[in-house]
Homo-oligomer: A and B are copies of this chain.
Amino acid sequence: MTSTLDTVFAALADPTRRAILSMLLEDDMAVTDVADPFEMSLAAISKHLTILTRAGLISQEKRGRVKWCKLEPDAMKGASVWMQGFGQFEPVNLDAFERFLEHHLDTAEEE
């Protein structure tokens, strides 16, 4: 939902959640099917899905008794752009990136 840098990076910091996102690249999945390849309980997976949803990385839609999970890759955009600002050091976009940092991302979050 929120999709701040905080929640997105935190969500991506867990290997189970990254694996879930990879699975959802293929297709939308029901919660039970997401949980299937993992050793842990369904409740644990349900919590992971909540964290991914809060970060905006997936959406969940209930149809009948089944809750479908759908990847929302756009939620990674902000984080991806933020990181790549450190990777690509052409002087051109370095300035722009620093302005971007100052005026948009970090400040917006700490207010």
**Cα distance A40–B110 in the bound complex, in angstroms:** 14
Is B1 within 8 A of A110, CB to CB? yes
Is B97 within 8 A of A87, CB to CB? no
Is A105 within 8 A of B78, CB to CB? yes
Q: How many monomers of this chain does the complex have?
A: 2
**Cα distance A9–B111 in the bound complex, in angstroms:** 16
Given A74-B88, A85-B97, 5 more A-B residue pairs with CB atoms under 8 Å apart are A5-B15, A10-B10, A25-B94, A75-B107, A101-B104
Taking CB atoms, residues of chain B closer than 8 Å to A105 are 77-78, 107-108
Chain A interface (Cβ < 8 Å from any Cβ of B): 1-6, 9-10, 12-15, 18-19, 21-22, 25, 56, 71, 73-94, 96-98, 100-101, 104-111
Is A75 within 8 A of B2, CB to CB? no
Can you give 23 contacting A-B residue pairs, CB < 8 Å?
A1-B110, A4-B108, A5-B108, A6-B14, A12-B79, A18-B82, A25-B98, A74-B87, A74-B89, A75-B111, A76-B87, A78-B105, A78-B108, A80-B83, A83-B83, A84-B92, A88-B92, A93-B94, A93-B97, A96-B98, A97-B100, A104-B108, A105-B107
